[in-house]
Amino acid sequence: MMQAYKYKNLYSKLVQQKASEAFETESIDAETYKKILEAHASELYTPNFFIRIALGLLTVIAVLFSGVLVWFISGASNDYAFVALFIFLSIACYTILELLINAKQYYNAGLDNVLMSCSIIFLIAAFLTEDYANNDLITSAVMILFCLWLCIRFTDGFMAMLAYVSLYIFIFLLCVKFGVAGKAIAPFILMIASAIVYMVANGLLKKERLLFYHFSCKAVQLLALILFYASANYFAVNEAGTQFFSAHINMPAVLAMIYWILTFLIPVAYILYGLMKKDLLFIRTGIVLFIISIITIHYYYQLLPVEIDMLIGGLILIVISYLLIKYLRTPKHGFTFKNINPNKKDLLNAEALIIAQVFGKSNNKQKGFEFGGGSSGGGGATGNY
Amino acid sequence: MEIFEQLHQQNFITQKQLDKIKQQQPVSVHWDIRTLLYLGILLITTALSIIVYKNIDTIGHTAILIAIGIACAACFMYCFKKTNRYQHAKVESPNILFDYILLSGCLLLLTFIGYLQYEYNVFGNRWGLAVFIPMVILFFCAYYFDHIGVLSIAITNFAAWLGITVTPLQILKQNNFGDTHLISTGIILGAALIIFSIITQQKNIKAHFAFTYKNFGVNILFIALLSAMFNYDNIYLVWFLIIMAVAYLLFNNAVKQNAFYFFVITVLYAYIALCYVVIELLTSVGGDMGVIYLGLIYFIGSGIGLIRLLMYYNKKLKDDAGI
């Protein structure tokens, strides 16, 4: 197995998640849920949300000052020494990450995420310290492989997205190398690449062997939708054209027209496809991108003053949402305005109680913590801020 | 869905449950539409204020004031008509638009009174009154209509009345925390808000407001105390002890209530104070390399130590919300 985590733990975690969803939509009852949880205890360590943020922050502090300490001790002063230093730090972060996960099975615990990112940042720093020929191309190529490895090893969605971004940058830089010719075709190549990435992720989603990478694939798909659009957005194409391609040739009118059409066509297509497939990912992305398209056109052509546009836009939004609320009061075409389960809060409290029952006790026994009587007092009724 | 089939084979779930899970449920677009609605309202109110600002010469102040006043009154009239009866417990809002209309009404009210003072100097030099009156109305609205958003605006106004800016983004930028008066006000305000949050919970009057009070209170108190420590560096150790005492109380309280959020921010504020003291002590010793190494080792060690502490307490504070 290539994962750093034990198969059983990952599987149990996934079962817990799915069971939790089923419980929240009231597909399974409390007794069933409890039974499933009891049979699928996972050793993966994921603390409370706020604790995770604090752990991440503190890890940043520890890594940062450790780096400075190593720098002082090594006395690195020239570029080569810095390259060596950064590579050492990158490897150190990665090694600590492996050791910690092996010992404690940290999983999205804040500190594993930070260590992963630090390992990447140090590696990039090592590459960019010196100015070699094609340095940026090589860096992005290495990043594709390294992030992909981190994604596979730690089943991490963010790393999957980084790997894809690296690939995107790599292809873009390749296009830049081709100068004027590259400028004309770069958007289309990037669009094709994003479409392929989307399809590949879609294919991987269906593979049962890759069950644990479901989230990674979804994350990449979302990013692919966004970058597919960004590749053809008129503003992005225009700005990138003047920034990265030395040739200051004005865009041919036909090409400009194509980009403008794509800028609006893509979000609309997303929304329509999402409505057809009942896929909220497409609908939400489509709406956000459509708004960006409107801002884009406003940037170039100001037919009306901003405030009038805002007024009209706001009115349209209110009318549309009001009509939709009325229309979807009873479910139609597979959509509903109903907040799926209005008694979600009670369900969440019940869920918290069950989880505390199943896992709270066994954990306490293992570690021998004494709670001085009050252990059931906080059983879910208090706010968990 | 594969997982549920496996669970079914292992007899964890029945065929009926499996069917129910597989059965396609209508997709809820509740929050999507609400977000769009909110965006629309935001756009219109912003657009209106820009239009007013741009055309102030042609429209005239009186006309604008009257228009804002009418809009504000309309919002409040709607709210009074639709509202559910007041209770000490949480009251659900009667419909979706209600919350937004109430919020618009309160924001318009602030604009209205601010405008009145700016243009016509209605309150004269008693600036406090121009903040005090909307504050009272806001607190009343927050309680009467049960709206946490309005409560936050009311608390912000309360602080402004005392002379402190407490909006999250501006709290550090806008305030001159070198000012002795401001520091003492901050300490008293922070402490008062915390105490009030406790009373709110004990008396069970809108108990769900307690978090908002405490959130403002804890942050204001710690920031005021920390700036006191930074400011009076001749007696910084005294302030450090006070911070530690406050942190100790809040820490225990957070552990008792399983409140992860307050637990974490208390630990982090206390850590900032500790780091300041350690740096002060180290620099007072002298500035040679040995001291710098000591400082680095302190940061590494304390960072790792705190990580362990947090992990220990994560287990101790029972994670109710989810694994």
Per residue in A263-298, pLDDT (tens digit) is: 999 999 999 998 888 888 898 999 999 989 988 888
Q: At A151, is the pLDDT very low, low, confident or very high (cuts 50, 70, 90)?
A: very high
Inform me whether the pLDDT recorded for B239 exceeds 80. Answer: yes
DSSP state of A106: B
A101/B232: higher pLDDT:
A101
Q: Which amino acid is at B27?
A: V
| B149 has a pLDDT exceeding 90 | no
- Tokens matching residue B118: 């700016």
Q: pLDDT, tens digit, for every residue of B31-61?
A: 788 888 888 888 887 887 787 777 777 777 7
Q: How much is the pLDDT for A226?
A: 94
Percent of chain A whose predicted confidence (pLDDT) is above 70: 85
Which residues does chain B have within 8 Å of residue A317's beta carbon, measured at their own beta carbons?
36-37, 39-40, 43
Contact A325 B96 (CB under 8 A): yes
Q: Choose between A67 and A364: higher pLDDT.
A: A67
Lowest mean pLDDT among A126-140, B268-282, B299-313: A126-140
Is the model more confident about B272 or about A308?
A: B272
Q: What is the pLDDT of residue B174?
A: 61
Residue B108 — pLDDT band, cuts 50, 70, 90?
confident
- Give B33's contacts in chain A (Cβ within 8 Å): 321, 324-325, 328, 337
What's the pLDDT score for residue B171? 61
Distance CA A312, CA A351 (A): 45
Query: Cα-flanking dihedrals φ and ψ of residue B65, to 5°?
Result: -60, -45
Q: Which residues contact B155 (CB under 8 A, 6 or more apart)?
A: B166, B193, B212, B213, B216
Other CB atoms closer than 10 Å to residue B208's CB: what's the count?
A: 14
The answer to whether residue A95 scores a pLDDT higher than 60 is yes
How many of the other CB atoms lie within 10 Å of CB of B163?
Answer: 15
The answer to whether residue B256 scores a pLDDT higher than 50 is: yes
E strand map for A158-274:
none
Q: Say if residues B258 and A384 touch (Cβ distance below 8 Å).
A: yes
List the single residue in B with minimal CA-CA distance to A275.
B27
Name chain A contacts of B3, Cβ cutoff 8 Å.
14-15, 18, 211
| pLDDT value, residue A363 | 41
- Whether the predicted pLDDT of B87 surpasses 60: yes
pLDDT score of B166: 60
pLDDT band at A324 (very low <50, low <70, confident <90, very high): confident
Distance from CA of B265 to the nearest CA of A (A): 9
Handedness of CA B167, B173, B177, B181 (dihedral sign): negative
- Comparing CB atoms, the residue among B33, B293, B307 nearest residue A58 is B307
The residues, any chain, with a CB within 8 Å of residue B62's CB and separated by 6 or more, are: none
Q: How many CB atoms lie within 10 A of CB A59?
A: 24
Of B33, B296, B320, nearest to A324 by CB-CB distance is B33
Three-state secondary-structure class, residue B87: coil
Are the beta carbons of A338 and B28 separated by less than 8 Å?
yes
Verify whether the Cβ–Cβ distance A306 to B50 is below 8 Å.
yes
**Which residues of B are less than 8 Å from A66 in CB distance?**
300
| Cα-based angle B120, B122, B127 (whole degrees, multiple of 5) | 110
Asked whether the predicted pLDDT for residue A175 surpasses 60, the reply is yes
Chosen for mutation from A16, A23, A33, A58 (greatest number of chain B CBs closer than 10 Å) is A58
Query: Does residue A105 surpass a pLDDT of 80?
Result: yes
What share of chain B has pLDDT > 90, as a percent? 19
Q: Which of B3, B48, B304 sits opposite A15 (nearest CB)?
A: B3
- Spatial contact of A105 and A6, defined as CB atoms under 8 Å apart: yes
How far, in Å, CA of A202 to CA of A206, rounded?
7
Closest CA to A294 of A266, A256, A264, A274: A264
Q: Spell out the SS3 assignment of chain A.
A: CCCCCCHHHHHHHHHHHHHHHHHHCCCCCHHHHHHHHHHCCCCCECCCHHHHHHHHHHHHHHHHHHHHHHHHHHCCCCHHHHHHHHHHHHHHHHHHHHHHHHHHCECCCCHHHHHHHHHHHHHHHHHHHCCCCCHHHHHHHHHHHHHHHHHHHHCCHHHHHHHHHHHHHHHHHHHHHCHHHHHHHHHHHHHHHHHHHHHHHHHHHHCHHHHHHHHHHHHHHHHHHHHHHHHHCHHHHHHHHHHHCCCCCCCCHHHHHHHHHHHHHHHHHHHHHHHHHCCHHHHHHHHHHHHHHHHHHHHHCCCCCHHHHHHHHHHHHHHHHHHHHHHCCCCECCEECCCCCCCHHHHHHHHHHHHHHHHHHHHHHHHCCCCCCHHHCCCCCCCCC
